């Protein structure tokens, strides 16, 4: 690690991560140690009243969820390209703006195609 | 100081990697893998690769793991199905062969790393690895690969939709 001036900003992230870990672990341990436990068959049922479950919660999921997930990943990658572009835009100038417009235009074609074929509809 | 940060993160990464392999439930493995990705992001920050660390969190821990989760849920592995992974004839030879190949690659990497002259590190500029620096070189020197990447994403989107929505027309 070099003497990097950017490194000190990670200190807050490190503090945040440690606090998050301590709080989560603390709540779990405290509730396990201090909480009263009197299990009975009635209490372990998922729903206190209503239909008694007959099978496991694991079921098959419609493929639409996976389609949405795939489209999400691709748009996510698109947004990741905009991140360094936005940070460096003041040095890139007008040329950088044109580049990003071209990028968004090409992906806009895909967006219009998906929209037109009903890829974003839920049926 | 830097080792004081690196070693806990690296140790946590190794522990989480073992969890990924030995966890009985696939979802548990996937969650351990998310933790492993975050640890790797920490290692990248230690190497001053700020943008790579952010990519590790946004793309791997965010997007790729979503796909892993969906594959796990779509396959819907029951506990009894785990038996098929254990008793597959002819897999032993392949496993051993793959292990030796990985060992060879690791040997090569380690021997190159050890033979390098670490007393004279290459000079790099102050802002190396920052997001602004990545943005500058991506949108000036490597602008053509960047625009080609948009076409790659276009093909991926159209392909995903065509494969998943065969019944629509």
Q: What is the 3-state secondary structure (H, E, C) of A3-40?
A: CCHHHHHHHHHHHHHHHHHHHHHHHHHHHHHHCCCCCC
pTM of the entire predicted model? 0.75
Residue of B nearest to A72 (CA): B63
* A45 in any annotated domain: yes
CB contacts of B74 in chain A (<8 Å) are 60-61, 63, 66
Residues 24-53 of A with CB under 8 A from B: none
What's B17's domain CATH number? 1.20.120.1200
* B112 in any annotated domain: no
* A96 in any annotated domain: yes
Q: What confidence category does residue B81 fall into, taking pLDDT thresholds of 50, 70 and 90? A: low
Residue A14 has pLDDT above 60, yes or no: yes
Residue of A nearest to B128 (CA): A4
A119 close to B165: Cβ distance less than 8 angstroms = yes
Nearest in space to A4 (alpha carbons), one of B3, B122, B49, B77: B49
Domain boundary among B54, B77, B100: B77
Q: Which domain holds residue A26?
A: 5-116
Asked if A73 has any chain B CB less than 8 Å from its own CB, the reply is yes
Tokens of A19: 């606090």
CB contacts of A113 in chain B (<8 Å) are 157-158, 161
Of the residues A61, A68, A110, the best mutation for testing chain B's interface (the one with the most B CB atoms within 10 Å of its CB) is A110
* A122 in any annotated domain: no
Asked if A76 has any chain B CB less than 8 Å from its own CB, the reply is yes
What per-residue confidence (pLDDT) applies to A24?
96
Q: What confidence category does residue B83 fall into, taking pLDDT thresholds of 50, 70 and 90? A: low
* B108 in any annotated domain: no
Residue A15 has pLDDT above 60, yes or no: yes
Task: Provide the mean pLDDT of chain B.
Answer: 84
B69 shares a domain with B8: yes
Nearest in space to A111 (alpha carbons), one of B156, B163, B65: B156
Q: Which domain holds residue B39?
A: 1-77
What's A63's domain CATH number? 1.20.58
Asked if A102 has any chain B CB less than 8 Å from its own CB, the reply is yes
Domains identified in chain A, total number: 1
Residue of A nearest to B136 (CA): A88
Size of interface A-B (CB pairs under 8 A): 143
Residue B28 has pLDDT above 50, yes or no: yes
Which of the two residues, B1 and B92, has the higher pLDDT score? B92
**Is A84 close to B131, i.e. CB distance below 8 A?**
yes
Q: What percent of chain A has pLDDT over 90?
A: 28
Q: What confidence category does residue A122 fall into, taking pLDDT thresholds of 50, 70 and 90? A: confident
* B37 in any annotated domain: yes
Domains identified in chain B, total number: 2
Rounded Cα gap, residues B62 and B3, in angstroms: 28
Which residues are CB-contacts of A19 (< 8 A; sequence separation ≥ 6)? none
What per-residue confidence (pLDDT) applies to A123?
67
B134 shares a domain with B72: no
Q: How far is A14 from chain B, CA to nearest CA, in Å?
A: 10
Residue A83 has pLDDT above 80, yes or no: yes
Element (H, E) at A83: helix A63-87
What per-residue confidence (pLDDT) applies to A17?
87
CB contacts of A64 in chain B (<8 Å) are 164
Rounded Cα gap, residues A79 and B19, in angstroms: 31
Q: Using alpha carbons, list the distances in angstroms from residue B154 to A32, B65, B161.
A: 50, 21, 11
Rounded mean pLDDT, A85-105: 90
Which of the two residues, A98 and A4, has the higher pLDDT score? A98
Rounded mean pLDDT, A58-83: 82
Nearest in space to B48 (alpha carbons), one of B117, B135, B127, B132: B127
What per-residue confidence (pLDDT) applies to B169?
46
Rounded mean pLDDT, B116-133: 78
Q: What confidence category does residue B105 fall into, taking pLDDT thresholds of 50, 70 and 90? A: very high
Instruction: Say whether B89 sits in a helix, a strand or coil.
Output: coil
* A123 in any annotated domain: no
Q: Reduced to 3 DSSP states, what percent helix, strand and coil does chain B have, rounded to the nearest 5? A: 80, 0, 20
Q: What is the pLDDT of residues A46-56, one digit of tens each?
A: 777 777 777 76
Q: Among A54-58, A103-107, A119-123, where is mean pLDDT lowest?
A: A54-58
Residue A4 has pLDDT above 70, yes or no: no
Residue B74 has pLDDT above 80, yes or no: no
* B99 in any annotated domain: no
């Amino acid at each position: 690690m070099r003497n990097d001036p950017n490194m000190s900003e990670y200190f807050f992230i490190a503090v945040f991560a440690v606090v998050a870990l301590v709080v989560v672990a603390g709540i779990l341990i405290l509730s396990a140690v201090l909480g009263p436990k009197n299990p009975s068959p009635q209490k372990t049922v998922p729903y206190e009243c209503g239909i008694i479950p007959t099978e496991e919660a694991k079921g098959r999921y419609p493929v639409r969820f996976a389609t949405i997930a795939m489209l999400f990943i691709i748009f996510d990658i698109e947004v990741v390209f905009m991140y360094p572009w936005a940070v460096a835009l003041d040095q890139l100038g007008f040329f950088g703006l044109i580049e990003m417009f071209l990028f968004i235009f090409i992906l806009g074609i895909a967006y219009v195609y998906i929209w037109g074929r009903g890829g974003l509809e839920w049926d | 100081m830097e080792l004081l940060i690196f070693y806990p993160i690296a140790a946590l990464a190794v522990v989480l990697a073992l969890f990924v392999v030995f966890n009985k439930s696939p979802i548990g493995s996937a969650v351990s893998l998310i933790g492993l990705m975050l640890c790797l992001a920490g290692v990248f920050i230690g190497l001053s690769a700020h943008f790579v660390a952010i990519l590790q969190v946004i793309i791997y821990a965010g997007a790729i793991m979503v796909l892993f989760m969906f594959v796990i849920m779509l396959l819907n592995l029951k506990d009894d199905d785990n038996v098929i992974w254990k008793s597959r004839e002819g897999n032993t030879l392949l496993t051993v062969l793959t292990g030796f190949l990985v060992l060879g690659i690791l040997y090569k990497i380690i021997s190159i790393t050890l033979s390098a002259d670490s007393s004279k590190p290459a000079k790099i500029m102050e802002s190396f690895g920052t997001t602004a620096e990545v943005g500058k070189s991506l949108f000036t020197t490597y602008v053509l690969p960047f625009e080609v990447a948009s076409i790659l994403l276009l093909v991926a989107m159209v392909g995903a939709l065509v494969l998943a929505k065969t019944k629509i027309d």
